Every structure is written in C-alpha cells, then in structure tokens.
C-alpha cells in the first residue's frame, strides 16, 4: 500500500470477514490498527489493537476516524446501508482511502444483483464513492469468492460438475431453495446466493474476472494464481 497508509481503522472486525482482515493486519506488524466497535459490543480483540467504542453516529465516527489513513468496512449485510455515513465521516476526518464491504462477487454486475438483491446497497455505495473522489478520498473495492474447501476434513463442495471457469458454480436446486428462504425472511438463503454469484452458470455473471473484467491487481502488487497453486500452498502451510 502507499507510504501514507500506516494507520488503519476497521469496522466489523468481529465478523467472519473482519476477523480474517484483522488477523492479517496484526500478523503483518506494519500497521497501527484501530477497531471501531459499537458501545454495546462485548467482542474481544488481539493485544496491541486499539479499540474505540462509538455510537456509530456521524460525529462519533468522525472522532474515531481522526488520524487514520485508511478505513476498512467489513460490516455484514444488515449494515450495508450505513456505509455512506462511514464515507462521510471518513472525509470529514481527513481519511485518504476507504475500502468498502465488497469481499464477495462483483456488485456492479446486473446479473449478480438479480441473483443477489442484497448487494444493491453495495452498488449504490461504489457510485457514492466515485462521487466523493473530488473531495480527495480514494477507495478500493475487493471482489473475491468463497471456495467451499474444508482442508481439515478433506472435503469440498463442487457446484454444477465443477466445469465452469471462474476467477474464483449454479446448482439450480440450491439457488431455487435459497431464493424461497430469502423471500420468507430466512437470511441463510443469502449465503448460498452469494456463492452462486461466483460459482454459478447464470448468464452474464462475468465471474471469470481475469478474462471478463478490468482488474487493478497490478496497482496492489497482486499476482494471479491458479486454484491448484493456492490449494497446494494452503496444504503446505
């Protein structure tokens, strides 16, 4: 990251994705890390991490973001709509870079949004971030996927025969069941649909990012790896 990116604040650090991000930041030993947590939260964090409790009001967030170079949002679906407030507070606090809660499929793709409507606020936020570039704020959206490989139990879930090319597959029965669950208010269906946006065969998903989208990996110094290379590296570790 750029030389000014020394102090990093993360929101949603106790969630599934947030824990991974926080763990990597701590392991790097290169950053001053601040976790922004709700006042009522009882979550605990590693030693050496500064924890700031806030009511998540605009003013409270602005105070919490003071002195930070980067703000990372790792909030879950229930808080996607709050992120514009995070952006505004970051700008007021002088933050240089904002990383929104993407961390899944391409939220700018219409086929993805049709399959997973919960990503609508993600698309809106990216458009909002673009509109704030004139205020000096830079941003990075990270699109990845979720391979259902369980190394410990030596099992893997293969979608639709596993014959689709993707940079990170649509088992029709699972998707239909997930849509019904989501319509009934059961958010367990949302997790299946998130995976379907990457692994599925729904036309127009463009989930083979390396061939179907313009990537900014070179800006971050990220090199493309094959699935076999990644699996071998994880097994070796």
Task: Walk me through the domains of the chain, giving residue ranges and CATH numbers.
Answer: 7-144 (3.40.50.720), 147-237 (no CATH)
As a whole number of angstroms, the distance between CA 2 and CA 28 comes to: 15
pLDDT for 131 equals 95
Record the tokens describing residue 143, joined without a space: 């699109």
- For 173-210, write each residue's pLDDT tens digit: 555 565 566 566 666 666 666 666 666 666 666 666 67
- For 2-25, write each residue's pLDDT tens digit: 455 789 999 999 988 888 889 889
Residue 172 DSSP label: H
Name every residue whose Cβ is closer than 8 Å to that of residue 150 and which is 6 or more positions away in sequence.
156
* Cα 184 to Cα 81, 121, 177, 179, distances in angstroms: 21, 20, 11, 9
pLDDT for 214 equals 76
Signed CA dihedral, 47, 51, 31, 77: sign only: positive
pTM of the model: 0.65
- Tell me the three state secondary structure of residue 193: helix
Residue 99 DSSP label: E
Record the tokens describing residue 220, joined without a space: 């971050």
pLDDT for 72 equals 96
List the chain residues with pLDDT less than 70.
1-4, 113, 115, 144-151, 159-171, 173-209, 212
pLDDT for 37 equals 93
pLDDT for 7 equals 94
């Amino acid at each position: 990251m750029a030389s000014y990116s020394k102090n990093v604040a993360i929101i949603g650090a106790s969630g599934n994705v947030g824990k991974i991000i926080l763990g990597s930041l701590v392991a790097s030993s290169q950053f001053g890390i601040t976790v922004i947590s709700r006042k009522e939260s009882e979550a605990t964090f590693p030693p050496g991490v500064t924890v700031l409790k806030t009511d998540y009001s605009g003013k409270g967030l602005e105070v919490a973001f003071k002195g930070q170079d980067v703000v990372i949002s790792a909030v879950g679906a229930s808080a996607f709509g709050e992120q514009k407030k995070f952006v505004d507070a970051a700008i007021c606090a002088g933050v240089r870079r904002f990383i929104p809660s993407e961390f899944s499929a391409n939220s700018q793709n219409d086929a993805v949004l049709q399959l997973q409507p919960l990503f609508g606020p993600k698309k809106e936020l990216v458009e909002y971030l673009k509109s704030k570039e004139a205020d000096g704020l830079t941003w990075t959206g990270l699109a990845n996927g979720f391979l259902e490989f369980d190394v410990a139990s030596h099992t893997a879930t293969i979608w639709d025969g596993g014959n689709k090319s993707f940079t990170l597959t649509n088992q029709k029965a699972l998707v239909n069941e997930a849509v019904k669950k989501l319509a009934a208010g059961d958010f367990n269906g949302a997790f299946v649909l998130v995976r379907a946006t990457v692994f599925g065969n729904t036309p127009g998903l463009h989930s083979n990012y390396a061939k179907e989208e313009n990537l900014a990996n070179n800006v971050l110094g990220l090199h493309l790896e094959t699935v076999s290379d990644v699996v071998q590296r994880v097994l070796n570790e």
